[in-house]
Amino acid sequence: MDSIPLVHASLGEQELAAVAEVFASGWPAGQGPRGKALEAQLAQKYGVADAVAVSNCGAALHLAMLAFGVKPGDEVIVADYGFPAPAQAALYVGATPVFADVRPDTYTVDPQAVADLVTERTVGIIAVDTVGMPADYAELQAVADRHGLFLVEDAACAVGATYQGRQAGALAEVGCLSFHGRKGASSGEGGALLAADPKIGADARLRSSFGIGSIFDMGEVVGLPIPTFTEIGYNFKLSDIASAILQVQLGRIDELLQRRDTVARQYAELLADDDLLSVPYVPNDRTHAWQTYMVTLDAGVDRGAVATELRGQGIGCGHGTFAGHIQPVFEAKQKCPVSADLAARQLAIPMHAELTQDQVARVAQALRSAVRTHASTGRRAA
């Protein structure tokens, strides 16, 4: 029986043709014509003052911390549930990440938990659109405004999602996107920083290229411009090869998201009446990008055994995502019980735009069977 991978990038002939054009241009590196075109496309799509294409979302988060002047001794409140890149970004600049627990229904950061953690050392908040679900930005912005804090949106998983009619990625003063291989729009790796303030965009663009401007632009000038290094910078540039791929992917995003949404609806229908697991909940004021489809298993189900059985049938699955406060690298002092519980019970099942109806049905059937086989005796009987 054919395997069903957990993730699969929807890359094809259109993307190959775009890459061939870059090869023919003679400029495959970063900050060239395709990179500039991608940034213009992103700025227009999201309605922001500036968009900076970078190597990955982690780089965008790092650049955001630098642009906001975060320094050692500062505290940055971060959503606990999700990939721990926001907390690492705080550490990159010597700040302390403070983990806020999440809502049990949407898995996004709880605004009240954020408000309760604000101290005189707090300088900002990084919210996470957990696996494609936008957080509660109206409430989070109110907390940020009340205390004079910056608000950054980690929209790594949420390209194409919406909140109150606005696009994820443009829901805070800075948004950070990812174009990793499992995202709705992908170039294998890649990211972007979206800025409402052009000064933040300019700062991020400069720092993303060793603290100097575009080498491509310098080569277009008559004469011999010699750059001057005035800031500590990084090599966070996105290649023109990846930029060309992303221009095609962004043009296809509505189609690809519709296919993911169809998969999510089919899963919800096939799994809705199972008392040993629950499916994701999406509030009426937002849409989900479905980077990942996570079910929450009953506490009496052996998740590891379920995963082993599914993988034995060629069905990809994963643990869900991370509770940051329990990761040893952070040495966190606070508890986030909702996040910890979700991290222990959630299971990611195949989600991508290439899944067929028959494959989704096969996954759902195998999952229902496995959770019953590996539930405690009392729960199995129920």
Q: What pLDDT, in 10s, does the model give residues 291-313?
A: 999 999 999 999 999 999 999 99
At residue 224, the pLDDT reads: 82
CA 61/CA 57 separation, integer angstroms: 6
Could you give the residue numbers annotated as active site? 183
- Same domain? 296 vs 245: no
Mean pLDDT of all residues belonging to the chain: 95
Chosen domain end from 210, 232, 251 = 251
In a domain, 4, yes or no: no
Please tell me whether residues 57 and 173 are part of one structural domain.
yes
pLDDT range class, residue 382, cuts 50, 70, 90: low
State the total domains in the chain.
Answer: 2
Q: Are residue 257 and residue 232 in the same domain, yes or no?
A: no
- Residue located via tokens 């919210």: 127
Task: Say which CATH number the domain at 376 has.
Answer: 3.90.1150.10
Residue 200's identity, in one-letter code, is I
For residues 259 and 239, membership in a common domain is answered with no
- Both 80 and 46 in one domain: the answer is yes
Q: What mean pLDDT do residues 127-131 have?
A: 98
Range of the domain at 335: 253-381
What average pLDDT does the segment 40-59 reach?
98
Distances from the Cα of 149 to the Cαs of 76, 146, 169, in angstroms? Answer: 9, 8, 18
Instruction: Clarify whether residues 105 and 41 are in a common domain.
Output: yes
pLDDT category of residue 333 using cuts at 50, 70 and 90:
confident
Taking CA atoms, 43 is separated from 36, 37, 291, in Å, by 11, 10, 22
369, 309: one domain: yes
Are residues 225 and 372 located together in one domain of the fold? no
Tell me, yes or no, whether 274 and 181 share the same domain: no
Nearest-angstrom CA–CA distance, 353 and 255: 9
Q: What is the dihedral of CA 382, 105, 177, 82, to 10 degrees?
A: -60
Contact assessment for residue 177 and residue 199, using Cβ atoms and an 8 Å cutoff: no
d(CA 44, CA 381): 55
* Chosen domain end from 251, 272, 290: 251
- Do 138 and 279 share a domain, yes or no? no
Q: pLDDT tens-digit profile of 246-280?
A: 999 999 999 999 999 999 999 999 999 999 999 99
Look at residues 235, 251, 267 and tell me which one is the last residue of a structural domain.
251
Token pair in block for residue 229: 């290094």
Find the helix packing angle between 57-67 and 85-92, rounded to 10°. 40
Asked whether residue 263 falls in the same domain as residue 337, the answer is yes
pTM score: 0.95
| Residues 272 and 241 both lie in one domain | no
